[in-house]
Amino acid sequence: MAINYKFNWKTLIILILVIILAMSGYLYYAWVNRVIPEELLPQAIEKTTSVDSYRYHVALELNVNDQDRLLSKVKGERQGEEFQLEGEIAGQEVDVIYVENKVYMRDSVSGRWMVNHGGDIFQQDLFMIEVNPIASLEYETLNNIYYLGVEKDSVTAVVIEYSPVVTNKMLTTYWNDFKYKVWIDRRTKRVFKAEIFANHKDNPQNGLHMQLVLYDFNKNVKIEAPSTE
């Protein structure tokens, strides 16, 4: 017994329309979310370095004669020119607050806070990278920009590698041949993680490795003076 199939043009047209709409949606999504690293990178750096407040973790290692030495490892927070940081710098425990042009330093033995009036030195990037690590992202030019792909964890991150001409005085005083790797939050278009590599000017075989994590951009960060009593 032969079975006759009736071709349904209406079903075919609907199927074709569904396929076209699906392809159009995909192409639109791909276009909107495309990554042009030469455009995204300067935009992300500008959005990151222009924030009023942020919190951070930063670690600096020196590589001397093929041996890694921890230079500093601190966490901190900034609101404008005021900041607080704590951790280890050059083998010493530090806990520092800079607020209302006064520097408060906690004595590691007694635990008491000592105050020094007039803390202009802390306003200079030349003093320490640890005080304002976000300044290490500032640049004169961006070279050799490479898009490394997308990483997904708690956020979707665009990963970019590049070689900038750096303007941070603390970095450029002793180091050159900088190579940066940054993770940019795809939603906020801000840098939230960075790794920096550089060679020593006088001894190129020795290097610097900096790891930086940034978060709580433009949040209500309160820097308060501690009790000195």
Interatomic CA distance for residues 80 and 141, integer angstroms:
25
Domain coordinates in residue numbering, the chain: 37-215
Is residue 68 helix, strand or coil?
A: strand
Within 10 angstroms of residue 1's Cβ, the number of other Cβ atoms is 2
Confidence of residue 8 (pLDDT cuts 50, 70, 90): low
pLDDT of residue 154: 84
**Lowest-pLDDT choice from 102-106, 146-150, 174-178:** 102-106
* Burial class of residue 125, CB neighbours in 10 A (0-12, 13-18, 19+): middle
What mean pLDDT, rounded, does the chain reach? 86
DSSP per-residue letters across 116-170: EE--GGGG-TTT-TTT-GGGGG-EEEEEEEEEEEEEESSSEEEEEEEEEEE--HH
Is residue 50 helix, strand or coil?
A: coil
Mean pLDDT, rounded, for 159-166: 96
Is residue 64 helix, strand or coil?
A: strand
Domain 37-215 top-level CATH class: mainly beta
**Smallest Cα–Cα separation from 139: which of 105, 96, 171, 187?**
171
* Cβ atoms of 49 and 189 closer than 8 Å: no
The CA distances from residue 13 to 4, 10, 21, 27, in Å, are 21, 5, 12, 21
The CA distances from residue 34 to 20, 43, 190, in Å, are 21, 15, 16
Mean pLDDT, rounded, for 132-152: 94
Question: Structure pTM?
Answer: 0.81
Mean pLDDT, rounded, for 65-79: 92
E runs forming strands in the chain: 53-64, 67-79, 82-89, 92-99, 102-106, 113-117, 139-152, 156-166, 175-185, 191-200, 207-215
